[in-house]
Structure 1
């Protein structure tokens, strides 16, 4: 979990400097209509900052080191970083500007929250948090030719949770699902409430898992994509939310990973 990860200030200082360039540029775009020649140059600056951030993350080694970020924090930062790259590249060619700007700012705020640490639990809409996660993952899904569908339902989906932890847990499941599914497949995300429980279910069209594979994935921190490192971290994040992670999978028929949380009373 983010607040227990030791990271070194020298590398974090480099990270923060690059991030300030990125975030400041994104905020400027949000206030100015259209893309002028200067704005195109500004996007290029933002892309350079993002690529430098990516290079910094590549310097991380599996074991903690006084001058490096740990693998867990890198894993958590990788998805919003890729989202920022995807949105910025679409901005550069003038695609879907409004959605791109919202994605850049949302991803930037998520990265800032990861660096600031975990906040106290509060009353949040699980559906709203999941919608943010779906937005953050959209560029990565598009690159993989995978569609992501969201069904928020119509019931009260309020839970008491740290929205950062919940969003990161959902992002991990979405990343896994996208990398498990073949091109031209779909990941479905559903938020529902049953009595006193709110459930976030992420279903993929991948190859599925055996019971032995699921047990091994829950233990490993191999760092490989398609489940891998993200699943143990997700288990820790969900446990910190006093929730439960359930897995339903059949070889050849895909998998469904569900986060179950206590509904907000009242």
Structure 2
């Protein structure tokens, strides 16, 4: 049976009640002892009225103590309750004063941390909405502009082809934005069925690199790969999102002429995929948030994207039972390492 843990507030209340009862009993005992001593000394003949008066003193003391304690607890609980209601009403700026080290101070500190985190989530959500709107508006504006332009006469066939290619490219960008948002929502809500298939992971990774070679070539980057044959059992549909996002980010955040190194190795029953670059790198603060939804290290929109790529990567890797290791130094590049259980045989079995 699962053991129930008592909250600090309830524990403090129990201690206070015990203190009141104990104080009342001690006071009653002391009063009774005084009456009994006086009676034995012959100075007092205690009757019912005397005993009642003696016991009334601790009873009154206990009642007053209980009343004061009740008011104290009621005031502190009411303040906590009202603050929660303020949060529910949408004001996340409310904070409670933390004084001393009692149970209520601990509860108030926990409340403040919760409110701070909720405020951060709201800020990241608002930034995400702004970025999402901007990224959607940009291709829509381009599509509309070139579509209207093509309605005018006088364009050569080459010009028409160029404008149609731009429309197709921007349409693809829109589709990718929508697909990423939908995919992350399904991953986070658990509404995405995951099938396990045995396939050659090196072939999948090599195919993804082939698709991204053109982007690296446009920036005069050197893209090197060390891909070992690895048979793997996992999600053949979801894992390409991992490779495309990680290598794509390395290309995006590495300056022209930079170097990107990709490797795939097998360590026991674990497939190890590594992407290392000599790009702009990240600070510790940025690195601690890169897998958070709504988070963008560069909110200036100088680079296209809405910050969903790495949260998608993290969700897929977690869903597959793996983990991600990140090393980065500002100005010196980043290394992402994905470790996935499910690796099987190597090249000998392929023949």
Give the shorter-chain TM-score range. Answer: 0.5 to 0.7
Moved over 3 A (4+): 47-62, 222-228, 263-266
Query: What stretches of structure 1 of length at least 5 have no aligned partner?
Result: 1-40, 63-68, 76-116
Partner of 2:240: 167
Partner of 2:44: none
Partner of 1:256: 335
Contact 1:159 1:261 in 2 (8 A): no
Larger Rg: 2
Q: CA RMSD in A?
A: 3.4
Q: How does 1:63-212 map to 2 (within 5 A)?
A: 69=178, 72=181, 120-153=195-228, 156-212=229-285
TM-score (norm 2): 0.43
Task: Tell me, yes or no, if structure 1 residue 217 matches structure 2 residue 290.
Answer: yes
Deviation at 1:186, TM superposition (A): 1.2
Task: Tell me, yes or no, if structure 1 residue 231 matches structure 2 residue 310.
Answer: yes
Partner of 1:56: 171
Question: Residues 74 and 136 of structure 1: is their aligned pair in 2 closer, same or farther, counting only changes over 3 Å?
Answer: farther
Question: Residues 139 and 194 of structure 1: is their aligned pair in 2 closer, same or farther, counting only changes over 3 Å?
Answer: same
Deviation at 1:184, TM superposition (A): 0.7
TM-score (norm 1): 0.56
Partner of 2:72: none
Contact 1:204 1:256 in 2 (8 A): yes
3-state SS of 1:217 partner: coil
Question: Residues 123 and 211 of structure 1: is their aligned pair in 2 closer, same or farther, counting only changes over 3 Å?
Answer: same
3-state SS of 1:255 partner: strand
Query: What stretches of structure 2 of length at least 5 have no aligned partner?
Result: 1-156, 185-191, 346-351
Contact 2:262 2:276 in 1 (8 A): yes
Question: Residues 58 and 182 of structure 1: is their aligned pair in 2 closer, same or farther, counting only changes over 3 Å?
Answer: closer
Deviation at 1:259, TM superposition (A): 1.3
Contact 1:118 1:165 in 2 (8 A): no
3-state SS of 1:218 partner: coil
| Cα displacement string for residues 48-107 of structure 1 (whole angstroms, at most 9, x for unaligned residues) | 765444333566798xxxxxx3553599xxxxxxxxxxxxxxxxxxxxxxxxxxxxxxxx
Name the CA distance, whole Å, in 1 between partners of 2:321 and 2:314.
11
Partner of 2:322: 243
Contact 1:190 1:200 in 2 (8 A): yes
Name the CA distance, whole Å, in 2 between partners of 1:177 and 1:214.
15
Question: Residues 152 and 118 of structure 1: is their aligned pair in 2 closer, same or farther, counting only changes over 3 Å?
Answer: farther
Question: Residues 185 and 74 of structure 1: is their aligned pair in 2 closer, same or farther, counting only changes over 3 Å?
Answer: farther
* Equivalenced residues, count: 175
